Amino acid sequence: MKGKPDTDHAGESTLGGIGVPLSRIDGPAKITGGAKYSAEVPVGNVVYGVIVQSTIAHGTIARVDASRAERAPGVLHVMTPANAPRLPEGGKAGFKPPAGRVLSLLQDDSVHYNGQPIAVVIADTLENATHAASLIQVEYDRKEATLDFESSIASAYTYGQKILGRDPPVTTRGNVEAGLEEADVRLDAVYTTPVETHNPIEPHATIAAWEGEHLTLYDSTQFVYGVRRFVAKTLGIGDDKVRVIAKYTGGAFGSKGAAWSHVVLSAMAARQVNRPVKIVLTRRQMFGIVGARPYTHQHLVIGACRDGRLTAIRHVATSSTSCIEEWLEPSTLQTRILYTCPNQETRQQLVRLNLGTPTFNRGPGESSGTFALESAMDELANSLGMDPIALRLANYADKDPEEGHPWSSKSLREAYSVASERFGWAKRSREPRSMRDGDVLVGWGMATATYPTKQMPASASVCIRPDGRVIVRAATHELGTGTYTAMSQVAADTLGVGVDRIEFELGDSELPENPISAGSMTAASTGSAVHAAATALGRKLAEIAILDPASPVHGAPPNDVRAGHGRIALASDASRGESYDALLRRHGSEVEVTSKSTPPEATKKFSMHSFGAVFAEVRVDAELGQIRVSRMTSAYGVGRVLNPKTARSQILGGIVYGIGMALTEHTIIDPRTGRYMNADLGEYHLPVNADAPDIDVIFVDERDPHVNAIGVKGIGEIGTTGVAAAIANAVWHATGIRVRDLPITLDKLL
């Protein structure tokens, strides 16, 4: 596709490069059905696997009667703990969080949660496999299960590892007790969030196909290299024996960051029947066996002087994990860095429950953590009689209060200013229940959004062919966020060619290695690698031209020859040069380079975060308690925006995700059995179009010279952070009722 020319930071034509609001390159393929998701890849001779799940939360399997299933039409094999292939270390060889999980791979008869995979039926059709699975009878020896989170908090223990290998679970600075004694006003409150389940449009799905000793997995994943390594180690084979392909992933939100049980089970089943096996989880199976955001119980104690200056913060966050593995929701991370406070303590605790292991969920930690912190800041502002923005500005952190480092860039003041002005915040009356529209209570609330800027090592190759086409390859992922488009724009911008000349290939573990597409780091990691490879290609073309007697730059000093704007030319005399096409026609063959990018040295000297401000208006029926979010305005400083159109789309999705967190999403678990009670889209309430208000998204112009070569910070997560708090604060302003337990349902207002 051709992009409309625009200008970059230097005022030069980008030909559809960085900063141009291009529509997604993969859009036509998706709307015409040309895009193939994992379960749709045509694989010959494929058969179907259906997972059988436990119906108890804790115990052991006494007996599996699969005889009727084995005799059912079309059944090829029934795999149970009694006959499943034995794996190295009992199937735990690949376990290394967060890229690897403790899985349920039929290696023993233990049951740790309701819904755990306990058998797989393989048949010639999905219908036959599903029918046969219903015929399996299982007897259990039951054990008492731990299922009640709140009553188990007394048994919580402090997490004993670094959070994601980086941050300590406990931090202390100053003296919190002394700070609380100094305070004129104190807040002591508990905020809770429920289990929230990812529900992407595309469920988890895998096709496993063996060819001799080589395994190909078509998997709906956010991390092809991670799945490759994990599955290889779990099966006890070399990485080079496994290939993982995911050209399109239909939403993930963190749930597809690791290989779950069904991925390895599909490979085991395919080997047993000597045919490719496809396993697609049902919507109900998306609950429990592939992770969720865990419960959190967050106890915040805050002290402040009359002028709003914070004197102390204590934030103890307790989250749930499974009985087979530790998984932490790091809800204190934003508290450590968001506001200047001389005395602070944070602690991360865990409670083990007989539920499936939790996992990343959009804005993991910061989404649940900002609900607690930003609600508490709103309560504190009310106690002090201060405007909520004024309280935040009184404690504005001009440098990272935890590390003491300067920010690589920070535009939070500008975000507060522009978003509040667009929202009309100055017209807000301070008292709750003071704004009405007839019989409807109107409330305005705001909160701060933040998410760390992350970058990991990544590689990319760029190849230019004699016909002028540029092929860019990197084993990153398209989750529906616009990776095909944004990375094509980076390559086009760096080389100075039209986006219509770029072909970007991703989603294959045989391509140059890239990290997981999570943590808002794809643009920074993969984008930096693509920029590095395209830059290196330009240098390579310059070298070829200098050595070419027919080139206008033949024999020129290397430091005077530049690649850009689709040409090789002298820096000292731009008229002396030639197009890439002309050079390549004489050269007669394609030119390719591969480059790797790594996090910059500046990460040791600067703290790198994105920041934003979120404003919400709610309308609450005074008699019925029904809540509607009627409009939202948000502004963000996220570094350089690669594509304003796809970037805005990501923020819109994040905000709607936050509306669900605030008002509707709640995975209900039977406290007697551990069964997921609302495991479908009829009862698990996601926000739909009717729930989405007018959303105004603003990007503050932010230049960050330290973060990476292309100046991007990432935006996938920050759009969700702060949203639940802004809505909760608006509900309080409308009703005078402070709801500290998500979701905010009408019964909590009556």
Catalytic residues: 717
What is the distance between the alpha carbons of residues 336 and 313, in angstroms, rounded to a whole number? Answer: 9
Paired tokens of 159: 């997490």
Q: Which runs of consecutive H residues, i.e. helices, occur in 194-285?
A: 224-235, 261-273
Length of the chain equals 750
SS3 719: coil
Report residue 732 as tokens. Answer: 């309080």
| H or E segment and range at residue 423 | helix 412-423
d(C-alpha 442, C-alpha 425), whole Å: 13
Chain centroid to CA 221: 12
Nearest-angstrom CA–CA distance, 435 and 421: 19
Ramachandran assignment for 82, one of left (phi > 0), alpha (psi -120 to 50 degrees), beta (any other):
alpha
DSSP 336-380: HHSB--SSEEEEEEEEEESS------SSTTHHHHHHHHHHHHHHH
AA identity, residue 537: L
Question: To 10 degrees, the CA torsion angle through 532, 595, 16, 507?
Answer: -140
Six-digit token string for 111: 């049951």
d(CA 173, CA 312): 10
Residue 40: CB atoms within 10 A of its CB come to 16
Q: By C-alpha distance, which of 165, 178, 200, 211 is closest to 280? A: 200
Q: Residue 730: which of 621, 622, 619, 624 has the closest Cα?
A: 619
Residues in CB range of 104: below 8 A, 6 or more apart: 112, 116, 117, 118, 261, 289
CB 99 within 8 A of CB 516: yes
Contacts of 381 (CB under 8 A, 6+ apart): 308, 387, 388, 390, 391
Phi-psi category of residue 647: left, alpha or beta, with phi > 0 → left and psi -120 to 50 → alpha: alpha
Strand bridging mode 344-353 / 310-322: parallel
Neighbours of 65 (CB within 10 A): 13
- 437, with CB counted inside 10 A (0-12, 13-18, 19+), is exposed
Calpha distance 585→590 (Å, rounded): 10
Smallest CA-to-CA distance from 635 within 484, 330, 458, 419 is with 419
What is the C-alpha to C-alpha distance for residues 206 and 242, in angstroms, rounded to an integer?
14
**CA 79 distance to own-chain centroid:** 33
Closest CA to 62 of 135, 168, 138, 171: 138
| Residue 642 to residue 158: CA distance in whole angstroms | 40
Name residue 611's beta-bridge partners.
450, 637
